[in-house]
Amino acid sequence: MTYEEYLEQNGEMTYTNRGISMLPLLKQGRDLFTIRKKGAERCQKYDVVLYRRPPESYVLHRIVAVRPDDYILLGDNCLNKETGITDRDIIGVMTGYVRKGKAHSTDDFGYMLYSRWIVLTYPVRRMCKLIKSKVLQIIRQ
């Protein structure tokens, strides 16, 4: 059963993530996230969405910009933004998560503060990661 089929039948699902793109919010093998089926409404900046990336992979990333016809998305731990993601690609929106065994809602003040902070600090975090990468590259040579 695909994620789309599951959400169509149940309206929401709780799942665990794979990978490091949503660190430090979600850690693989430890944390869970809950997704509700996306309705007809447009998503908003700071929403974390589950979307389909062709051919058939699924990605959980944050919306950092809403444009008239698409969205710009970015994982909290990623350097490169993804553009051209449309409403047709998005299958669900995160409504909550369980981190270190404690449940949180995306409506919590602390989470909303974190969301804005992670988007606001992206340029600085990107620069630091690029510098670190170059330094490590020089050390290896």
- Looking at residue 127, which CATH number applies to its domain? 2.10.109.10
How confident is the model at residue 115, as a pLDDT? 98
Q: Report the number of distinct structural domains present in the chain.
A: 1
Read off the pLDDT of residues 17-74 as tens digits, 9 standing for 90 and up: 999 999 999 999 999 999 999 999 999 999 999 999 887 799 999 999 999 999 999 9
* pTM of the entire predicted model: 0.92
Q: What is the CA radius of gyration of the chain?
A: 16
Query: What is the rounded average pLDDT for all residues in the chain?
Result: 95
Cβ neighbours around 23 below 10 Å, total: 15
**Domain range spanning residue 75?**
3-140
Crossing angle, helix 109-120 and helix 122-140, to 10 degrees?
Answer: 60
